[in-house]
Amino acid sequence: MAKSNSSKVCALICHLNVRLGLAICGILLGAFWSVIYIAVFKNWIALSASLLSVLFAFLTLYIYILQKCNIFESKLSPKTRYILMVFNAIFMIFSVVAFFMSIIFAIVLKQGVSVKDQFAFSDHSQNLWSTCTWFLILFKWTLQNTLILRFSLKSA
């Protein structure tokens, strides 16, 4: 039995509400950890990765709000969507490379994962395990944005 149009619309709205909630949680968590990296750990690399993640989470939230209001296609021209897609794809590749480089450098430097190990190297500890986590989250946002923009360009 086929679903009615109203149930499809309801499912879409529920799906978008969950996406909106997750984007907002990503923004709040990224902002919270950015403050922690400044105030406590002074981990500038993880700070920059978390702030980049927050920036792309804001872009995701903006795209979801445009989709929810049904003005995505009218607000963003195909050329703008293409530029955003390429921009996200470039940062997606950057985040994957940075993720693996952080892991490699953390292993080479024999860094530990615990909070105690955050302070073990110097006053300005650059623990790369937390940095690689934020690059993975950045990859998640950029991949998600790239796919959304790609599918919107295909349907246009």
Looking at the 3D structure of the chain, how many domains does it have?
Answer: 1
**1: pLDDT strictly greater than 80:** no
Instruction: Tell me if 36 sits within 8 A of 118, measured CB to CB.
Output: no
What is the span of the domain harbouring residue 86? 5-155
Q: At what angle do helices 78-108 and 44-68 cross, to 10 degrees?
A: 150
Q: Of the candidates 57, 58, 50, 2, which has an alpha carbon nearest to the alpha carbon of residue 30?
A: 50
C-alpha pair distances (Å), 63 with each of 71, 75, 98, 141, 145: 10, 10, 25, 12, 8
Label residue 13 exposed, middle or buried (CB < 10 Å: 0-12, 13-18, 19+): exposed
**pLDDT tens profile 81-91:** 999 999 999 99
**24: pLDDT strictly greater than 90:** yes
**Residue 62 CA, distance from chain mean position:** 13
Q: Of the candidates 131, 136, 123, 134, which has an alpha carbon nearest to the alpha carbon of residue 105?
A: 131
CA atoms within 13 A of residue 66's CA, in its CB half-sphere: 18
Confidence bin at 125 (pLDDT 50/70/90): low
